[in-house]
Amino acid sequence: MLIEDDKLLNDLQTEMMTESGIRVISLLDPSEQISIMKREKDNLDLVISGILQPEIDGLEMLKRVKGIDEIKHIPWIVSTNLCQESIAEEAYKLGAVDYLPLSKLSADEWLARVLKFLERSQSKT
């Protein structure tokens, strides 16, 4: 699942993952994220979320999701243009498995980190 409110970035990341063979549920608005996560919980290997989202920021959504037993097991990556160590620390503290600072990564590097996480995750199952 990808939650990114910037349509251009959402489209680019969705296309990159789809072309790499990843099935993507893409959301521009996180308002229905929890209900979709509950419905798709057995099919979600990963959530990738931006920070600056309409209505609720990505860190607050991460906090909420980690408080819901039926979906808290789904790994979460924070992907953002905000390159602040305090945000990375907060994301990890809330349960994120990775932090991808978009301004420091090329699109290929971003995708490689996502693919590497998925490969590691699938090898554990």
**C-alpha angle 65/70/76, rounded to 5°?**
40
Query: What residues form DSSP beta bridges with 27?
Result: 3
**Domain total in the chain:** 1
114 in any annotated domain: no
Domain interval for residue 23: 2-107
pTM: 0.89
Ordered strands of the 47-49 beta sheet: 26-27, 2-3, 47-49, 76-80, 98-101
62 in any annotated domain: yes
- The domain that contains 88 carries what CATH number? 3.40.50.2300
CB 76 within 8 A of CB 97: yes
For 23-70, the pLDDT digits (tens) are 999 998 888 889 999 999 998 999 999 887 777 888 999 999 999 999
67 in any annotated domain: yes
Q: Which residues of 60-84 are buried (b: 16+ CB within 10 A; e: fewer)?
A: ebbebbbeeeebeebbbbbbbebee
For 73-86, the pLDDT digits (tens) are 999 999 987 777 88
CB 114 within 8 A of CB 17: yes
